[in-house]
Structure 1
Amino acid sequence: MAADQRINTQGILRFSASRVLLLVTVLIGVVAGVLWRIQYPVASWLLIMTAVVSVLHSLWGMIVNIRKGHVGVDILAIVALMSTLAVHEYWAGWVVVLMVFSGEAIEDFAESKAQRNLEALVEAAPSVAHVQGQAPGQESSWNTVPVGEVNVGDTLLVKPGETIPVNGVLHSAQATLDMSMINGEPLPVDLYEGSKLSSGAINGASAIEMVATAKSSDSQYQKIIELVKSAQESRPAAVKTADLLAVPFTVVSLAIAFMAWGFSRDPMRFAEVLVIATPCPLLIAAPVAFMGGTGRLAKAGIVIKAQDILERLGEVSHVFFDKTGTLTQKKPRVDRIELSAWSQQRGVNPDQLLISAGMLEGYSSHILARGVETAALDLIHARQLPRPVVNDARETTGNGVRAKVADSIIAVGRLKFVDSTVTDGQIASEFPALASNEMVTYVSVDGHMAGRIILKDFPRDNAKDMIRRLDALGVSRVTMLTGDKSDSANIVANAVGIRDVRAELLPEEKVAAVEGARIEPSVEPGRAARLVMWLKGLIGINTEQNISMMVGDGVNDAPVLAASDIGVAMTDGSSTAASESAQVVIMNDDISMVPKGIIISRQTRRIMLQAVFGGIIAAILCMIVAAFGAIPAVLGALIQELIDVVCILWALTAIIDRKITS
């Protein structure tokens, strides 16, 4: 946390310095205005010294930027100030100084506004945890320790209003958590014993106990913070392009100024042109727009590793999806219950059979157990049914669970475990055949086959709409990559609307499929994308149009996520592999964020281009008019200030949520 506090302190000091310089400039202007008639020499020297200080300040800033590898147009402000002093246009020089310091103040305000969503994540990071300890001869107590000292398996107490410190499992019967800091979900979420907890969630009104399943450094929230810091420190290619445009803009501005001076033989024209040469759209508007877009993504639960990714999101031409856990719901869900002839003869209630089986599955570690248990708990809560008491539950690993429920012995699991006397032929004659995407667990009562529970890994409810939206955005090349068999993959693909299915793939074959997308014909880019590509080509930047995106769960898709141009990992907070292998992490496990991220990228780039080129065009037109002597120096400086403010404020609108259209 010390590093985070240091970063925030630096930001506060920088913001305060820019405000102080702006305030001093305004005060000097007021004093000089009062003294202008009665003490002209004093007023003049005040304005001259203000201009000199600003020149030195701009020179230092230019040197710092060059050392960082950023090309700037500070030279224009320096030359403009010196020219106003040379022709004794002190008030025009003061306005230019006002522009320099107000531009810095607006930039600081804009960036702090845009980064608020990102910094909120960092500031809310948990720093301590209450760990259960027991002194000899005493009852267990809670020791408050730094979160870094929490070990896997520790029992933790989370007080009301505190942040879940590490990933874990809920030990209390129930908890209500605020997940908005990690997935943007505004409504509290109710969880029950055994549910997974993600670091960064905020506990509700009651204290809860949990068991840590990861150390602090491996927990989801800390991984998010690493991504946030990476994004804050990066610069997108579009911003670098804007930096490089500073060179031709400076040349054009100086050329207009010298020509105006040369044709008119009046040095005043040189100053009148340069005070309008506004650098702020290039220096400030581009980074502010992209920081705004980054903050808007974070607000939607999309965290990017670098701001370059924000620009490339809008250029995606081919999207690859993993099947299981990405297009499907990650966990098998109960589809139906099939009763045996024995159960039908005795009038067994299928809901009660599900509830009994679900209570037993709470003692199982099998992959299907959670789906049965969840369906049973949902039924109990929906109908307010009594929860049966389970006694003497024993799991046979890999086979099932047997226990006493009421006066009966219930067994849940594999066929031979629940009833060893039943043959596969008898099952085939009594129950219909399973589809390729169906899974089954059997239930017996007092040794008699009672029925079976059919589970499916269903497609996500919004997956089909998501594919439709991608197509509407012009991203028509969509492919499913999976290691599953073709018939199972095609069932999911047909349900969500994907036509290109590549099944039964090994990990290296998935990587080859994604890498092959780079040589496929590209889709036609939009107008903003074409303009950016033209500018990149003009200054020698690679304009490759084929951008591949791989969307997976971040656990077993690490190689293909890393191989794609943009790797997108979807997580509900339980997976930490996501931030290691992907450039984008969707924190709310919502697949609809894929097209939304593309839309935010395109909107951000559009706003950036409007701010940058709008400012450049307005400045050049005004410089041409000033070259004919139609705009006095003081008025020109005021016009330049107005252009700067409008461009920067327009760039700041990138953080505002807009109607989600292409």
Structure 2
Amino acid sequence: MQSVHVTRALFAVAVLGLATGLVLTLVGRPEQASLAWAAGAAVVLAGLVVSIVVSLWRGEFGLDIVAALSMTGALVLGETLAAAVVALMYAGGSMLEAFAERRAGRDMTALLARAPRSAWRLRGGKLEEVPLGSVEAGDRLLVRPGDVTPADGVVADGEALLDQSAMTGESLPVRAPTGAEFVSGCANAGGAFEMVASRRPSESAYAGIVRMVSAAQQSRAPMARLADRYAMAFLGLTVALAGGTWLVTHDPVRMLAVLVVATPCPLILAVPVAIVAGMSRCARAGVLIKNAGVLERLSRVTALLFDKTGTLTVGTPMVVGIDAHEDFTPDEILAAAGALSQGSSHVVSAAIAEHARRQGRALAPPRAVSEAHGAGLTGEVQGRRVAVGAYDHVAAHAADRSWAESRRARGGERGMTAYVGIGGRVAGAITLADVVRPEAARALARLRRSGVSRIVLVTGDAPAVANAAVKGLPVDLVIAGASPAEKVDTVRREHGRGTTVMVGDGVNDAPALAAADVGVAMGARGAAAASEAADAVILVDDLDRLPSAILIARHSRRIALQSVWAGMGLSLAGMVAASLGYLSPLEGALLQEGIDVAVIVNALRALRIQAESRPEPQSGRTEEAAAPQPAAPGA
């Protein structure tokens, strides 16, 4: 495959040579016109020969050989105009193919950009910034608010609040007390804390994921061009018919006419046009397809694997329940907590305030708000002292905590609980959890109808959480407690059943996305590393876009194949006519141009593909309909 710049240059040379020759013919200079046509065709032929040699060296075989034979024969026999027309057909088709095959870079720039380059090390009572490569196991490090943990380690002093979503898929920040272990790549969502590195950064979980993504990408075999799958049969037929014509007639011009008509521009043109049109339709449907081979593979998908957090679930906490002290009502608790939560940008505070607004509460402005990182908020709401957050934080501001102690003693808490104190009493508790997407059931049902025969959930969550999340959904298999490496192994096992698609959104999903036939990232809120490793990105936060993309891919491939078979049939008819002497090389080239136009027009029908209609995505979800389950670390 030539580079985009070379392909464009060859197309420009072909156009220039053909146009120059036509102008010279009009002004009565046929010899110079023939030289112009020959020169343009010779340059294109030289580029084509180089491309063929490189392809054969890589073990790739394509239909470009037929185009090279027809151009060579035309130049040798002095049919320079026919050679120029074939050169234009080939260069134009190659330019379309290059446009279709251009790939978005997968060098994991986002993944690498997120990795810290240095760390703050405490040594000899001094704090110093050192390169990451200088960190050794046992070093004591300071992790500032917002920093990414530079190595696997343990909390050395105090309590850390870690956002592990990029590494584990856990949507809620996790509190890590002194002595708690954690992995590299987690963001510090609370105040500064000290850690002790348990291993060097190069041996960390984050570095391991980077290596797995790279290895998975390199091990996946490249996808052959759709047109090339017909190359051997078509080339054999062409050589047989052209050779038979020569043996019967001993007329090299008639043999050349057969080769010119056989120039596989219907294949070279129709496939990329249909595929590019399909990619355009997918983009309009909210799914970015990174290259043409992805669309081909997506059209044949039979097995779908997906992560839970951020893929099957919304990936952010939502209010799923409110418990109230007998002296307070749930509405009163929600109004007070929602009002105070306006004073913080924390993910839990934002979820409480947003839920209160969706419930129609008019939230009063809070006053004198103070926030303890990783603990909670305090402030005044309409003249009353309000506290929201962890039990210890709220209890410290309450004289009466008997209701909360009784509730905690009963146990059975799910998800994350934010206690609410009002006027010096623990008044209630708000439960938050990561809930199943409102469109999940509809999307999975549409995937079944689109031809996906096997659906597998593969997640790091505990089995109970994973099974509860897929209750009532058309899922064939649940694999829980899976590490990134185990997700890759699952993808490879499922590949034995057919073409696989893996859907995920976190850094921990990146290796599996790269290992699948098609990796699909939830790009709206997912980790940038997942989008880099994926073949396709869902640009909006709506899982229902995936079945639309699969349907578009299937229709696009069907249209491409229709164009291929129609083009090959017409070319075969022209080859027979040329072998019988009814077509000259130039007439054969012009006939082939007509066939090209016909197949391109047919291929452009892919722009009008309409995926199965679906309801608009819901903006919210009621607590009753959500059937939520709390997320668990490791998703």
Where in structure 2 are the equivalents of 1:520-559 lying within 5 Å? 522=497, 546-559=498-511
Native 8 Å contact 1:404 1:410 kept in 2: yes
Distance 1:288 1:601 in 2: 13
Distance 1:83 1:18 in 2: 18
Native 8 Å contact 1:282 1:612 kept in 2: yes
Counterpart pick for 1:590 among 526, 542, 548: 542
Counterpart pick for 1:20 among 16, 19, 41: 16
The one-letter code sitting in structure 2 at the alignment partner of 1:77 is S
Distance 1:47 1:640 in 2: 22
The one-letter code sitting in structure 2 at the alignment partner of 1:100 is A
User: Alpha-carbon deviations, 1:583-638, whole Å to 9, x = none?
Assistant: 33323232123223323332333233333333222212221133223345554332
Cα separation, partners in 2 of 1:415 and 1:621, compared to 1, 3 Å: same
Distance 1:433 1:386 in 2: 31
Q: Which residue of 1 aligns with 2:478?
A: 501
Report the 3-state secondary structure (helix = DSSP H, G, I; strand = E; otherwise coil) of the residue aligned with 2:351: helix
Q: Which residue of 1 aligns with 2:349?
A: 369
Counterpart pick for 1:76 among 48, 69, 84: 69
Q: Which residue of 2 aligns with 1:328?
A: 313
Distance 2:515 2:89 in 1: 44
Q: Does 1:100 align with 2:87?
A: yes
Report the 3-state secondary structure (helix = DSSP H, G, I; strand = E; otherwise coil) of the residue aligned with 1:343: coil
Q: Does 1:464 align with 2:441?
A: yes
Report the 3-state secondary structure (helix = DSSP H, G, I; strand = E; otherwise coil) of the residue aligned with 1:475: coil
Q: Which residue of 1 aligns with 2:324?
A: 339
User: Alpha-carbon deviations, 1:18-53, whole Å to 9, x = none?
Assistant: 54334324434544xxx5xxxxxx54x355334432
Q: Does 1:422 align with 2:438?
A: no
Cα separation, partners in 2 of 1:77 and 1:266, compared to 1, 3 Å: closer
The one-letter code sitting in structure 1 at the alignment partner of 2:334 is L
Gap runs ≥5 in structure 2: 106-143, 147-216, 614-635
Distance 1:19 1:506 in 2: 55
Distance 1:23 1:626 in 2: 26
The one-letter code sitting in structure 2 at the alignment partner of 1:448 is R
Distance 1:94 1:452 in 2: 83
Q: What TM-score comes out, normalization by structure 1 length?
A: 0.64
How large is the RMSD of aligned CA atoms in angstroms?
A: 4.0
The one-letter code sitting in structure 1 at the alignment partner of 2:422 is V
Return the offset for 1:423.
4.4
The one-letter code sitting in structure 2 at the alignment partner of 1:470 is L
Report the 3-state secondary structure (helix = DSSP H, G, I; strand = E; otherwise coil) of the residue aligned with 2:301: coil
Return the offset for 1:463.
0.8
Q: Which residue of 2 aligns with 1:257?
A: 242
User: Alpha-carbon deviations, 1:110-145, whole Å to 9, x = none?
Assistant: 866x699989xxxxxxxxxxxxxxxxxxxxxxxxxx
The one-letter code sitting in structure 2 at the alignment partner of 1:447 is G
Cα separation, partners in 2 of 1:603 and 1:57, compared to 1, 3 Å: same
Q: Which residue of 1 aligns with 2:126?
A: none
Report the 3-state secondary structure (helix = DSSP H, G, I; strand = E; otherwise coil) of the residue aligned with 2:470: helix
Cα separation, partners in 2 of 1:82 and 1:337, compared to 1, 3 Å: same
Distance 2:407 2:291 in 1: 55
The one-letter code sitting in structure 2 at the alignment partner of 1:552 is G
Counterpart pick for 1:404 among 376, 380, 387: 380
Aligned residue pairs total 492
The one-letter code sitting in structure 1 at the alignment partner of 2:386 is I
The one-letter code sitting in structure 2 at the alignment partner of 1:324 is T
Counterpart pick for 1:390 among 367, 372, 376: 367
Distance 1:608 1:17 in 2: 28
Q: Which residue of 1 aligns with 2:302?
A: 317
Distance 1:10 1:275 in 2: 24
Q: Does 1:63 align with 2:49?
A: yes
Return the offset for 1:658.
0.7
Cα separation, partners in 2 of 1:566 and 1:465, compared to 1, 3 Å: same
Q: Which residue of 2 aligns with 1:52?
A: 38
User: Alpha-carbon deviations, 1:267-311, whole Å to 9, x = none?
Assistant: 553244333222313444334444444444444443455543332
Distance 1:425 1:258 in 2: 91
Distance 2:567 2:290 in 1: 30
User: Alpha-carbon deviations, 1:398-452, whole Å to 9, x = none?
Assistant: 33211122211001123343246434786449x998675x543221211123222
Q: Which residue of 1 aligns with 2:519?
A: 567
Distance 2:90 2:77 in 1: 19
Return the offset for 1:372.
0.5
Distance 2:500 2:74 in 1: 48
Report the 3-state secondary structure (helix = DSSP H, G, I; strand = E; otherwise coil) of the residue aligned with 1:494: coil
Native 8 Å contact 2:85 2:589 kept in 1: no
User: Alpha-carbon deviations, 1:309-362, whole Å to 9, x = none?
Assistant: 332222333222211211111112123434321125xxxxx4454243124334
Native 8 Å contact 2:458 2:480 kept in 1: yes
Counterpart pick for 2:590 among 632, 635, 638: 638
Q: Does 1:274 align with 2:250?
A: no
Native 8 Å contact 1:518 1:547 kept in 2: yes
Report the 3-state secondary structure (helix = DSSP H, G, I; strand = E; otherwise coil) of the residue aligned with 2:262: coil
Gap runs ≥5 in structure 1: 1-6, 36-41, 120-151, 155-230, 345-349, 523-545
Native 8 Å contact 2:104 2:291 kept in 1: no
Q: Does 1:513 align with 2:490?
A: yes
Native 8 Å contact 1:332 1:371 kept in 2: yes
Q: Which residue of 2 aligns with 1:484?
A: 461
Where in structure 2 are the equivalents of 1:162-201 lying within 5 Å? none
Native 8 Å contact 1:76 1:250 kept in 2: no
Q: Does 1:622 align with 2:602?
A: no
Return the offset for 1:245.
4.6
Return the offset for 1:580.
4.4
Q: Which residue of 1 aligns with 2:156?
A: none
User: Alpha-carbon deviations, 1:204-234, whole Å to 9, x = none?
Assistant: xxxxxxxxxxxxxxxxxxxxxxxxxxx9xx9
Q: Which residue of 2 aligns with 1:159?
A: none
Distance 2:279 2:37 in 1: 36
Native 8 Å contact 1:236 1:309 kept in 2: no
Q: Which residue of 1 aligns with 2:610?
A: 659
Report the 3-state secondary structure (helix = DSSP H, G, I; strand = E; otherwise coil) of the residue aligned with 1:237: coil
Distance 1:632 1:562 in 2: 51
Cα separation, partners in 2 of 1:247 and 1:375, compared to 1, 3 Å: same
Counterpart pick for 2:561 among 609, 616, 624: 609
Distance 1:235 1:10 in 2: 25
The one-letter code sitting in structure 2 at the alignment partner of 1:414 is A
Native 8 Å contact 2:364 2:381 kept in 1: no
Does 456-465 or 582-591 show the bigger shift?
582-591
Report the 3-state secondary structure (helix = DSSP H, G, I; strand = E; otherwise coil) of the residue aligned with 2:471: helix
Counterpart pick for 1:413 among 389, 404, 412: 389
Report the 3-state secondary structure (helix = DSSP H, G, I; strand = E; otherwise coil) of the residue aligned with 2:241: helix
Distance 1:153 1:272 in 2: 74
